Amino acid sequence: MDLINNLTFLQIMAGVFIGIASGYLGSFMILRRMALVGDALSHVALPGIALAFLLNVNPFIGAFSALFLGIVCIWLIESHTELPTESLVGLFFTVSLAIGILITPENELLEALFGDISKISLDDTIISVTFSIVVIAAMKLIANKFMLGTLSPDLAKSARINVSRLNFIFLILVAVIVALGIKAVGTLLMGALVVIPAISAKNISNNLKSFTLTSAVFGLVSLVAGIYISRLLNYSPGPVVVLVSGLIFILSLFLKKE
């Protein structure tokens, strides 16, 4: 059997890497208190995906371009104004979701909203694995300084760390991982894939190393188990993946550290 063209193999490969990367990055988004921003940000991808369908390019490119624009906006708001990011995010991200729903071709809409990893191609798998590895490696490089900038921007700046630049790099990594995850769980549910593994891991972790590692493992388990169960039951993978991560969260409550 030709392994490379085996659809199950491709799904699992993409699932493993996207799961690890989104769980790992999600842990830093939770530290940064960006849970809602991450969730809303994923909606920005929709108009980009719609344009990609209309222009006949890879939806990943469309999603990433729209997300990139979105994060530049957040970053500008964060670094140049005192405005609360959350309220602006609530406004223009839902507006972009509305635009996206209107311009996405109707027969593609369901897939864009909820994803479908069961149709993943070899190209998509290669993109997913490569970019996931790049994102994890980049995040690991900036992790310590980024964490300090999150804890106290003043303290970080007093140690001559360029906090604004780190934030920008971080947001680009978030954009990449959200664009990748959309293939698996869609624009509506991608927020869950970065948020839920991380908040579950936070329940049972005392330090940054175990927190980020556990979150990555939970991301992996959610995606792989979700894909597997959805095939058994013949459901769409996206919602099942999110439900598995929700189940992990409930279990983590019972193991909660004191």
Partner 1 sequence: MPDPTVLKVEKLSVEFNGATVVDGVSFSVLKGEVLAILGPNGAGKSVIFRALLDLVPYSGKISWAPDLKIGYVPQKLAIDRSTPLSVVEFLKSKAKNTKEILDVLKLVGINTGPESEHHLEHHILNRGLGKLSGGEFQRILIAWALIGGPNVLLFDEPTAGIDISGEETIYNLLKKIQQSNDLTLLLISHDLNIVYNYADKVICINKKALCLGEPHQVLDPKSLSVLYGGEAKFYHHEH
Residue 10, by phi and psi: left (phi above 0), alpha (psi -120 to 50) or beta?
Answer: alpha
Each residue 40-79 as x (binds partner 1 by CB under 8 A) or -, in order, gives: ----------------------------------------
CA distance 167 to 71: 10
Q: How far is the CB of 150 from partner 1 (least distance, A)?
A: 10
Taking CB under 8 A as the criterion, the residue among 56, 87, 107, 158 binding partner 1 is 158
Angstrom CA distances, 105 to 54, 67, 111, stand at: 8, 20, 11
Per DSSP, the residues of the chain read: --GGG-HHHHHHHHHHHHHHHHHHHHHHHHHTT-HHHHHHHHHHHHHHHHHHHHHTS-HHHHHHHHHHHHHHHHHHHHHH--S-HHHHHHHHHHHHHHHHHHHS-HHHHHHHHH--GGG--HHHHHHHHHHHHHHHHHHHHHHHHHHHHHH-HHHHHHTT--HHHHHHHHHHHHHHHHHHHHHHHHHHHHHHHHHHHHHHHHHT-SSHHHHHHHHHHHHHHHHHHHHHHHHHHT--HHHHHHHHHHHHHHHHHHT---
Nearer to partner 1, 130 or 144 (CB): 144
Nearer to partner 1, 202 or 231 (CB): 202
Nearer to partner 1, 123 or 154 (CB): 154
Taking CB under 8 A as the criterion, the residue among 31, 61, 77, 169 binding partner 1 is 31
Taking CB under 8 A as the criterion, the residue among 83, 102, 126, 159 binding partner 1 is 159
Residue 162 lies near partner 1 (rule: CB under 8 A): no
Taking CB under 8 A as the criterion, the residue among 167, 187, 205, 245 binding partner 1 is 205
Nearer to partner 1, 166 or 189 (CB): 166
Nearer to partner 1, 77 or 208 (CB): 208
Residue 255 lies near partner 1 (rule: CB under 8 A): no
Each residue 112-151 as x (binds partner 1 by CB under 8 A) or -, in order, gives: --------------------------------xx-xx--x
Residue 206 lies near partner 1 (rule: CB under 8 A): yes
Residue 157 lies near partner 1 (rule: CB under 8 A): yes
Taking CB under 8 A as the criterion, the residue among 76, 137, 155, 253 binding partner 1 is 155
- Enumerate binding residues for partner 1 (CB under 8 A): 31, 144-145, 147-148, 151-152, 154-159, 201-202, 205-211
